[in-house]
Structure 1
């Protein structure tokens, strides 16, 4: 199982370290020009996670598991620090100490939830205590459905109000994913009785359909923003960022589907069952 541990660890760190690096940039762009200390802290975190990303890319599936275990521990510490930074920023915003800054409180909470998720994944990998498949299916979907709902809200609020059709589409996605999240929470509260293969399979199928639609919307929005064909204050990298997270969710849904039905799972994403 050592090779699975290494592959899964590298997959998680490569994906999420880039996400953390980009969070640092987005937070920095939302600070006021005179928030020098916060900007410096964001820059430091950008450099830290760029270094972690580079280290992860330098390792291979054949790297010694103990080296990866130590790497995960180092990364865990860095993620804990950026989580604390994000929560500090959220506190400053909610106590009105950053008037005029451009980071939505929900966005800062959102990126801190992703940091906490990443931190938990590292701890699970290093201890080998990953959830059984039925619990993982529900918990991962509850997490990512909320992330997708948030993305739709951010897109709606960062598009220029004159982009009425796109704003409407984003709002419709927001409503759709709020409903899917409520359904997922219902399934969560009904467990373990709700964790039958037919119910979980239908759950994944329904979510896959909506995530694909949102993923395609994000892809189109990214292309339009890069080509300067729509009016918004969305950074092109942010558009690509949320697209990649939708792709990640789809990948997990397919992985869960394969595990649930007994189909082969790619080694880097194979589920380790308790």
Structure 2
């Protein structure tokens, strides 16, 4: 059973970070988009504070209102991200993020929307398929994180870049397996089989990646690892929070 308060606190922080990443990488010439990114930073901070004030004593009406407010802002934010991707694909915007990176941000925003729908009780649950679906969302996301780290590090940081590339290849291989497993489990109706072992495989690599990101975060805070100026400690910290959430969601399915 998902904890609505904790979910909204987590996701509004993630969405706020997305807006900040967009804000800090947009060209000064993109005045309109900069203003919108600032707006989403502020609105998600506000929604985060509101969620922190939500308690078990809050009424069902308060809960419904909180969910609806988040859904409304989230759908608008998804459209904003889609606009950025469209303009990137048509060479119509100056921003220091590639299309696939923004696309993964859209995937994450849509996952948040799904969580809100789950809180409303509008999505039926098949534990095995939900388990694999989470892998299909978060494994390519983790691969994208590792690719982004490799791209932001200075070329002289060859050892760290090589490690990031290892994670890219590993998560891509695991994702390929997850895609096959989803079809197999959907067609057979199995609820376990090899799924428990696959969860262990994934957890081992994600935990190793979290440790790697912790090192990147610490060394960027200390300014001892060379990287682009926009690659602050916030980015690996943001990635770590998402990887931990990924593992948490898998574990929650079996509680």
Structure 1 position 154, deviation (Å)? 0.6
Structure 1 position 106, deviation (Å)? 1.1
Runs of 4+ with deviation above 3 angstroms: none
Q: Quick check: 1:235 aligned with 2:232?
A: yes
Corresponding residue number in structure 2 for 1:163: 157
Corresponding residue number in structure 1 for 2:83: 88
* Partners of 1:142 and 1:62 in 2: CA distance: 36
Structure 1 position 148, deviation (Å)? 0.7
Q: CA deviation digits over 1:112-164, x for unaligned, max 9? A: 11111111221222134342211211111111111111101111111111111
Q: Give RMSD over aligned pairs.
A: 1.4
Corresponding residue number in structure 2 for 1:252: 249
Give the conservation status (yes or no) of the 8 Å contact 1:14–1:56: yes
Q: Larger relative contact order (C-alpha < 8 A, sep ≥ 6)? A: 1
Gaps of at least 5 residues in structure 2 are none
Structure 1 counterpart of 2:180, from 186, 211, 216: 186
Structure 1 counterpart of 2:27, from 4, 23, 32: 32
* Partners of 2:42 and 2:101 in 1: CA distance: 21
Corresponding residue number in structure 1 for 2:71: 76
The alignment covers a number of residue pairs equal to: 252
Q: CA deviation digits over 1:158-188, x for unaligned, max 9? A: 1111111111100010000000000000101
Gaps of at least 5 residues in structure 1 are 260-264, 266-274
Q: Quick check: 1:151 aligned with 2:151?
A: no
* Partners of 1:180 and 1:79 in 2: CA distance: 30
Corresponding residue number in structure 1 for 2:3: 8
Range that drifts further, 27-36 or 65-74: 65-74
Question: What TM-score does the superposition give when structure 2 sets the normalisation length?
Answer: 0.95
* Partners of 1:80 and 1:171 in 2: CA distance: 33
Question: What TM-score does the superposition give when structure 1 sets the normalisation length?
Answer: 0.88
Q: Quick check: 1:202 aligned with 2:197?
A: yes
Corresponding residue number in structure 2 for 1:213: 208
Range that drifts further, 83-92 or 183-192: 183-192
